[in-house]
Amino acid sequence: MSLTNRNVKQLAQSSPSGTSAASIYSPNTDILTHITRIVVANASAGAVVGTIYHDEDGTTYNATTTIWEGSVAADTATMILEAKIDLGGIPMRNSSGNIAFKSATGDTLTITMYGEEVGKER
């Protein structure tokens, strides 16, 4: 399938006010999702640490499920995490699974996630 035939869309967006990890996306029952891009933007005056978690079948948000942790520089800087769409991106099949996000400082980072929901698994 060519990239022009893909139905890539925004799957989730969050700008957490607190500093605890919280789910930003969980696929619907029997839906295969391919996550292809995650963008973390910082609009604050200082660098802020963020963490992204991927728990395939639950809500564990710690070092065992961390897929990215890093500092995003100040004043509209962004971090972009890309997964190759032609290789399937980051697959999510389980409706109990979650992508979660945590910011070290509330109201500073915005996370946006893009990908495609392919449809029911066979």
Q: What is the pLDDT of residues 29-69, one digit of tens each?
A: 888 999 999 999 998 999 999 999 999 999 999 999 999 99
Structural domain contains residue 1? no
Q: Which two tokens stand for residue 47?
A: 């660098």
In a domain, 31, yes or no: yes
- Asked if the structure places residue 111 within a domain, the reply is yes
Compute the radius of gyration of the chain from its Cα atoms: 14
pLDDT, residue 76, reads 75
Please give the model's pTM, rounded to 2 decimal places.
0.88
Asked, for residue 2, whether it belongs to a domain, the answer is no
List the domain range (segments joined by +) for residue 105.
7-120
Q: Is residue 85 part of a domain?
A: yes
Q: What is the pLDDT of residue 75?
A: 79
pLDDT confidence tier of residue 120, bands split at 50, 70 and 90: low
Q: For position 112, which CATH number holds?
A: 2.60.120.220
Both structure tokens of 119: 């449809």
What per-residue confidence (pLDDT) applies to 121? 56
In this model, does residue 89 exceed pLDDT 90? no
Distance in angstroms (rounded) separating the CA atoms of residues 62 and 115: 24
Number of separate domains in the chain = 1
